[in-house]
Structure 1
Amino acid sequence: MKRYGLVLATVVVFLLSLSIGAFAEEIKIGAGAAPTENVLKPIKEHFEKTTGIKLQIIASGPKIALQDLEKGAVDAAAAGLTFDDWMNLMKKEGAEVKDPASLQQFTIGKDKIIVLIHKDNPVSKLSKEQLKGIFTGKITNWKDVGGKDMPIIVVWGKLIPGTNKLFVKNILDGESQTKDVLEATTAEDVRQNVASNPEAIGIGPVAVVNATVKSPETPGVSRPIILVTKGKPSANVQKLIDFIKGEGQKYIRQ
């Protein structure tokens, strides 16, 4: 009986060692909505299976992601912004990067920003003028843009500043969005709030769309997705970059 127990214990230890050994190495990436939804989530399982490296995605938004990189809490940071726009965002947020030259940047994708509405909303097309009116608070009822007679609820994600900034610049012509919003966090949270409210409208990266919401025809807004490292990327981060630009291309939504 004792021998049986010893054998069983040995087997358990062996299996545990296998499960731990499967991901002996790990990389942490702080990221905004666009890289999280369009690039990192789609390739995560395939990258881990191919390399044996665990990919931990921390969807904290571009500001916190870059701050975490500066502190050494993550191995790389990623955002749907040009490098200059990212640095300007950090300065505006009071978190200016002291030495931007120490950061190396890599383009890992391209993102299209889309508008999300409830799947039962009959509206199929929105012009730039209509979107500007809705998101600045000048248009407050769906009947004014061809929809039902019901108030418009604008859902705004506080953890997707890169997405918001580009939308405000290109669609709102720099005007501030309405303050009367249903506040959300990540792009997924925006989608969930839109899916739960027939009156709602929000924005997010193209990869966030699923069967719970729909995206009407709107003017196109796109941006690069970049990943940055402090100095030269580690060997494992370089493997991630190479995977994204190689085999990972068939899993990425752009």
Structure 2
Amino acid sequence: MTGSVNKPGFPLTYCVGAAVLLLAITLFVSGCVGNDSPEERRTISVTGSTTVLPVGQAAADAYMDTHLYDEILVSGGGSGAGIKAVGEGTADIGMASRDIKAEEKQKYPNLVEHVIAVDGIALIVHPSNPVTTMTMDEIKAIYKGDITNWKDLGGEDRPIVPVGRDSASGTREFFYEAVMHKEEFVRTQQELNSNGAVKQTVAQTPDAIGYVGLGYLDNTVAAVTIDLNGDSVVPNIENIKNKSYPIARGLNMYTQGQPSGLVKEYLDFLMSVEGQRIVAEQGFVPVQ
């Protein structure tokens, strides 16, 4: 006669109950750790100067690496566009490679300036160009159209191709004041919308000259040495720090009033030891 066998172990109902309890605990813990609720996620937008853009993006990436629920969206467009965006509330931070203009300050009176770095504007030519030293007067004469051939500067008998920035550019605005002394640019100047575009054009055009932020210098172009009354001054960080290089300016971020929340935390990070290290890595001069 065959009978039922009583196997040792826990009753089936007990095992099922324990499994359900374990699953509930797992889901609860998982929900607490991986909560993706909108209340925990913060997003800000940063826009403006293409000169400041590499610093802004690199700092945003570094910050987000350790703040997984924060998102910092960085884009270019020019200094004027950045100031307008933050002034009109379509961006949280406006990047600018120049100071705010009087008319902008009047239109957006609550904007607060935050200087995050110092930059030099370097004149660049094609690496094959033998003309690598110029005076400030010669640079101005090229961009006014008074000097139009490289032979007038000791180079080959070839027409100069002046390359610059468009009207939204803070780099152009500073160059217009510091180099041109508010005299108009030659009408044949190519006007491009970013430092990268200027560098690429000069790198591909043997007779071109352009100007870019110091952080954009690389071996695809040759930086022009400035002759200041017989003293040759190279555009580099050391000469910007000691103020011997004549074409230098602050790099700014603007906020609508005093910053708070993620905007403040991001700007504080930029001014921290790590943030200023990023500034230096991008080829600019730290301010801290």
- Larger fraction in helix: 1
Asked if the contact 1:108/1:226 (under 8 Å) is kept, the reply is yes
1:249 has 2:272 as partner: no
Query: For 1:98, which of 91, 107, 114 is the aligned residue?
Result: 107
The partner residue of 1:32 within 39, 49, 53 is 49
Counterpart in the other structure of 1:5: none
Candidates 53, 62, 65, aligned match of 1:46: 62
What letter is aligned with 2:64? E
2:84 alignment counterpart:
67
Query: Quick one: distance in 1 between partners of 2:90 and 2:137?
Result: 42
CA distance in 1, matches of 2:111, 2:191: 32
Output the amino acid matched with 1:185: N
Supply the distance in 1 between the matched residues of 2:169 and 2:199 (Cα, whole angstroms). Answer: 16
The answer to whether structure 1 residue 171 and structure 2 residue 197 are counterparts is no
SS in 2 for 1:120: coil
- Distance (whole Å) between structure 2 residues aligned to residue 138 and residue 99 of structure 1: 38
Q: TM (normalized to structure 1)?
A: 0.80
Unaligned runs of 5+ in 2: 1-29, 227-244
Q: Over residues 217-244 of structure 1, what are the superposed CA-to-partner deviations in whole Å (9 max), with x where a residue is unaligned?
A: 1252111112111123131111111111
- Return the alpha-carbon distance in structure 2 between the equivalents of residues 99 and 173 of structure 1: 26
Going from structure 1 to structure 2, the CA distance change for 1:48 and 1:181 (only over 3 Å counts) comes to: same
Tell me which structure has the larger Cα radius of gyration: 2
Where does residue 195 of structure 2 map in the other structure?
Answer: 187
Letter in 1 for 2:269: F
Letter of the aligned partner of 1:141 in structure 2? N
Task: Find the residue that maps to 2:45 and give its secondary structure.
Answer: strand
Question: Quick one: structure 1 residues 164 and 238, their matched pair in 2 at CA, closer, same or farther if it must change by over 3 Å?
Answer: same
Partner of residue 11, structure 1:
none
Matched, 1:236 2:252: no
In structure 2, relative to structure 1, the CA distance for the partners of 1:70 and 1:147 (3 Å cut) is: same
**Cα 1:49/1:171, change in 2 over 3 Å:** same
Distance (Å, rounded) in 2 between the aligned partners of 1:134 and 1:35: 26
Unaligned stretches of 5+ in structure 1? Answer: 1-13
Pairing 1:227–2:271 present: no
RMSD (Å), alpha carbons: 2.3
How far is the alpha carbon of 1:160 from its aligned partner?
5.2
Instruction: Please give the alpha-carbon distance, in whole angstroms, between the structure 2 residues aligned to 1:146 and 1:158.
Output: 29
Please give the secondary structure, in 2, of the residue aligned with 1:41. Answer: helix
Larger RCO: Structure 1 or Structure 2 (Cα < 8 Å, ≥ 6 residues apart)?
1
1:136-175 aligned at under 5 Å gives the runs 136-158=144-166, 161-175=169-183
Q: 1:128-167 CA deviation, whole Å, 9 max, x = no partner?
A: 1110111111111112112222111111211653211221
Total equivalences in the alignment: 226
Which secondary structure state, in structure 2, belongs to the residue aligned with residue 203 of structure 1?
Answer: strand
Q: Calculate percent identity across the aligned residue pairs.
A: 26
Distance of aligned partners of 1:156 and 1:149 in 2 relative to their CA distance in 1, 3 Å threshold: same
